Amino acid sequence: MDYIDRNYIWRENDKAVTPSKDLICMFCGNGQLITKEHIIPRWIFAKDTKAFFTITLNGLDQTYNKATIPACQQCNSDLLNDLERLIQNLFTNRDVSANPFEWEEIQEIIRWLELIDYKFQIYNITRRFKVSKEAGKIDYLMDFPLYMLLPNKDYTPFQVLSAIRRSLKRLSVAGKYDHVNSLVVFKTTNKGFHFFHTIDEFIFLELPQYQIAVFYFFKKEFSTVKEAFDEAMSIIKKVY
């Protein structure tokens, strides 16, 4: 957290400091053998290097393939890849309407979605505002991190750090028992990949190759999955 504050949030004379060229792993803090960890794994979008998501703030497209954050070789290979393979195996050849995910499987999916949220938070704090042809150049904003300018947030530097700490705390909780009703799993027959995400609030992924869609609330807890389903559907209808 000190590294993030010093390199991406701290300002001197109302100007951003120059980030260190020495990257560290955003999971363990190690500065050796740094690799690139994809925010959303390539298997999710069938390794399509042209697939993209749009940065709402300035209307710019960012390809999934290029959206990465620093991770050391050990974290990337031993920890993150193990979870990715587990999730991919859970999704493969699974008819979720006939064979719903079990209690422990749900917790692993939650852990995986919480990890994506954390990676997006790191991505947004380490990326500066960029010029959009439609929006034009805004000199004052050019050295601000994207995280502090998100349209659906009103974050001060302290609030940004607090949100990242919350995300790390969620990841550190081994048992996700209190949040199993916050995950909604759908069987989908749609042909297209869909994704939307609001940092620290919710995430939606629709994966046509597995006929599975998932919606997860990061902070909200529900008494029943039906309650979560109803709220998720109201959000999905607004976005679609």
Q: Which of 114, 28, 117 is nearest to 75 (CA)?
A: 28
Res. 80: pLDDT tops 70 = yes
Q: Given a cut of 90, is residue 18 above it in pLDDT?
A: no
Which of 4-8, 104-108, 135-139, 162-166 comes out lowest in average pLDDT?
Answer: 135-139
The domains of the chain are located at: 2-175
Report the distance separating Cα 217 and Cα 200, nearest Å: 8
Does the pLDDT at position 148 exceed 50? no
Q: For every residue of the chain, which 3-state class applies, written as one string?
A: CHHHHHHHHCEECCEECCCCCCCCCCCCCCCCCEEEEECCCHHHHCCCCCCEEEECCCCEEEEHHHCEEEEEHHHHHHHHHHHHHHHHHHHCCCCCCCCCCCHHHHHHHHHHHHHHHHHHHHHHHHCECCCECCCECCHHHCCCEHHHHCCCCCCCHHHHHHHHHHHHHHHHCCCCHHHHHHEEEEECCCCCCEEEEECCCEEEEEECCCCEEEEEECCCCCCCHHHHHHHHHHHHHHHC
pLDDT at 140 over 50: no
Confidence of residue 141 (pLDDT cuts 50, 70, 90): very low
165-193 mean pLDDT: 92
pLDDT of 157 > 90? The answer is no
What mean pLDDT, rounded, does the chain reach?
82
Query: Where does residue 59 fall: left (phi above 0), alpha (psi -120 to 50 degrees), or beta otherwise?
Result: left
Residues 11-35 have a mean pLDDT of 84
- d(C-alpha 10, C-alpha 8), whole Å: 6
Taking the model in full, what pTM does it have? 0.85
User: How many Å apart are CA 2 and CA 99, to the nearest integer?
Assistant: 45
pLDDT by residue (tens digit) across 86-96?
999 999 999 99
Which pair of tokens denotes residue 133? Answer: 């042809």
> Given pLDDT bands bounded at 50, 70 and 90, which one contains residue 193?
confident
Whether residue 117 contacts residue 167, with contact meaning beta carbons closer than 8 Å, is answered with yes
- Cα of first residue to Cα of last residue in the chain, in angstroms, is 36
